[in-house]
């Protein structure tokens, strides 16, 4: 088995339901998730995510690394100052994040999630 796995452009059927823990609070945002990789021990997943403008309230259950490819988002953790992210930004969410994702421009990202 190879120790290198390329993550292709979205190639599997996308999940089009809103993710668990994500609630629409403004506008009519939609999302698509492509899981392109699952680790052999099933503790990590990686893939692509896209979303249209609007605002979600998100409650994270798992750690996540994100590399934003396209779009603009203002992320506001409960009790904290807003953080604006755009193309090329990379960042991490801890499993206890709770707050708003205001999707200002359509978003495309790579993600890696460490499942519990």
Domains in the chain, please, with CATH? 22-114 (2.60.120.10)
Q: Inform me whether the pLDDT recorded for 53 exceeds 90.
A: yes
Q: What's the confidence (pLDDT) of residue 55?
A: 98
Q: Inform me whether the pLDDT recorded for 24 exceeds 90.
A: yes
Tokens read off for 98: 């709770």
- Rounded to an integer, the average pLDDT of 25-45 is 96
- Rounded to an integer, the average pLDDT of 96-106 is 98
Q: Inform me whether the pLDDT recorded for 85 exceeds 90.
A: yes
Average pLDDT, the chain: 95
Q: How confident is the model at residue 1 (pLDDT cuts 50, 70, 90)?
A: low
Distance CA 48, CA 14 (A): 9
């Amino acid at each position: 088995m190879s120790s290198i796995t390329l993550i292709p452009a979205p190639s599997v059927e996308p999940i089009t339901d809103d993710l668990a823990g994500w609630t629409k609070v403004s506008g009519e945002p939609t999302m698509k998730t492509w899981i392109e990789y699952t680790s052999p021990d099933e503790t990590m997943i990686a893939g692509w995510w896209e979303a249209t403008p609007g605002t979600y309230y998100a409650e994270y259950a798992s750690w996540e690394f994100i590399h934003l490819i396209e779009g603009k988002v203002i992320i506001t953790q409960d009790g904290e100052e807003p953080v604006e992210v755009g193309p090329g930004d990379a960042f991490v969410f801890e499993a206890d994040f709770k707050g708003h994702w205001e999707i200002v421009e359509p978003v495309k990202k790579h993600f890696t999630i460490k499942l519990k």
